[in-house]
Structure 1
Amino acid sequence: MTDIFDVIADGTRRDILQLLLRRADESETGTSVGQIVADLGVSQPTVSKHLKVLREAELVNVREDGQRRFYSLAVEPLTAVDDWLVPFLVDAYGDQAPDIAHPFQEIPDGAAHAAEVVGRAAASAKHVVTNAFKRLGG
């Protein structure tokens, strides 16, 4: 299975996940690729490429209806991120930790930037370690 930190390190994929989260209450049938393209202003091939990565990481569910595909968020794999991140929030904020029980609140720009930096660092570290093991024949 793909490392979830590699998957969410990409800003477009995080935008897709946030869009699916916002639309979860609006649509029980899921969100079409066309709706994602329109809402994000990203090309259809780009959205399809990122949705494939999200499917492989099991972060989205897909429902097919003829030629159309409808996507919805699969939150279970995100528990790994939650388990990793929460101790940092508790250490940093103590009793003043942000209210993570309400996922629909907007993420401040600073927090979004920090998440991107952490995601990229985790992906980079994984890449370095993986290559080191390959060079060592492991």
Structure 2
Amino acid sequence: MADIFDVVADATRRDILGTLLAHHTEGSTRPSEISVSAIVAELGLSQPTVSKHLKVLREAGLVGVREEGQHRYYHLVYAPLEEIEDWLIPFLSVDFEAAVAEEAAIAEGLKEEQKAFAAAIGKAVADASHQVSSAVKDVRPKSWRK
């Protein structure tokens, strides 16, 4: 069986899971199901592509399927998602607002440092340009001295 993180790493599979979640009926004792053709229509993908990804999701235990004749109806299976949740919880306890503010402060400090560096380089180039211009003027013969 594939690692659950590898399975959900694919954007198409995440889209399919999101579609299944969007069709989940709150308070229902039985899982909400959606047909493959409805997933195809909602995501705008080809039927073979959706079927291929549903197979991977099914093998990972993330979705269940009910067969009715030639039709397949899929629903979410939440238990495997707990593994992802357990892994994520420590990260969610981090104060992200403080971390983002700290990163912004560091970036702003770098911007100011970069501006000061650019200004120093600009001044040095301007001084060098002025010195070269002055030296060229001094070396150039004066046309009025013929």
Report TM bin, short chain. 0.5 to 0.7
Corresponding residue number in structure 1 for 2:35: 32
Q: 1:40-51 counterparts in 2 under 5 A?
A: 40-51=43-54
Q: Which runs of 4+ in 1 moved over 4 A?
A: 26-29
Q: Please give the alpha-carbon distance, in whole angstroms, between the structure 2 residues aligned to 1:54 and 1:65.
A: 19
Corresponding residue number in structure 2 for 1:56: 59
Q: 1:37, 1:47 within 8 Å by CA — same for their partners in 2?
A: yes
Corresponding residue number in structure 2 for 1:18: 18
Q: What is the total number of aligned residue pairs between the two structures?
A: 94
Cα distance per residue 1:86-125 (max 9 Å; x no partner): 110111349xxxxxxxxxxxxxxxxxxxxxxxxxxxxxxx
Over the aligned positions, Cα root-mean-square deviation in angstroms equals 1.8
Which among 79, 82, 86 is matched to residue 79 of structure 1? 82
Q: Please give the alpha-carbon distance, in whole angstroms, between the structure 2 residues aligned to 1:48 and 1:80.
A: 24
Q: Which structure's relative contact order is higher, taking Cα pairs within 8 Å and 6+ residues apart?
A: 1
**Identity of counterpart residues, as a percentage?**
61
Q: Please give the alpha-carbon distance, in whole angstroms, between the structure 2 residues aligned to 1:28 and 1:5.
A: 23
User: 2:42 corresponds to which letter in structure 1?
Assistant: D
Q: Could you list the runs of 5+ residues in structure 2 that have no partner in the other structure? A: 98-146
Offset of residue 12 of structure 1: 0.4
Q: 1:29, 1:70 within 8 Å by CA — same for their partners in 2?
A: no
TM-score by length of 1: 0.64
Structure (1 or 2) with the larger CA radius of gyration: 2
Q: Could you list the runs of 5+ residues in structure 1 that have no partner in the other structure? A: 95-138
Q: Please give the alpha-carbon distance, in whole angstroms, between the structure 2 residues aligned to 1:55 and 1:7.
A: 10
